[in-house]
Chains A and B, each alone.
Chain A
């Protein structure tokens, strides 16, 4: 089954403790992206990757890192989490750039709480 898998689904942590949210897709997609969803703000893009070893900042990259060492994986790293990073995070992938011909496939989300 074609899918985007995020782990963990729920995470509670404390300020400053490094964490990684994993994302994996089994569709051989070139494009992968991370979003955060906050009430009243919709989805905002954090980082995206057009292919292996190619990553770019989205609209809200501060406080986040990503890597794309393999095509299928695109982990999101919070080196020093802060409470304002408490949010619902989504990973997504597509064949190429989230265009009309290759819409996004989303994971089920990771709900992060930073205390």
Chain B
């Protein structure tokens, strides 16, 4: 069985400051992990995916995520927030025959 937990339902940062969106997972095997972003009135768009080739994964729009097996975490970061980053972010685990497990989402608010 697999579960994905996003630790914050809302995160608010000032423009130009770092972003940290937290995600923990539990899995009985090596997980497949993704981060998706959802802008208002839009579908979800893939930000990045963990492929097990590297623990630090780079995605689009300057986002990165680091897979830490010891902490069962896959936190999403960005060095400097931009107003256009305001959106809902989903951590997602699994895939293939087991299907996907979505976190409940983190709403990112960017203060000017």
Contact = CB atoms under 8 A, between A and B. Distances in A.
Interface residues of B, number: 23
Nearest to A102: B95
A97 B43 contact: no
Nearest to A94: B95
Contact of B95 (A42, A43, A97, A109): A97
Contacts of B103: 42
A108 interface: yes
Contacts of A90: 43-44
A43 B90 contact: yes
Given A97-B97, A98-B96, A4 B32 contact: no
Contact of A109 (B41, B45, B46): B41
Interface of A: 4, 35, 40-45, 48, 58, 90, 92, 97-100, 103-104, 106-109
Given A45-B100, A48-B99, A99-B96, 11 more contacts: A35-B102, A43-B90, A90-B43, A92-B43, A97-B95, A97-B97, A98-B99, A100-B95, A103-B46, A109-B42, A109-B43
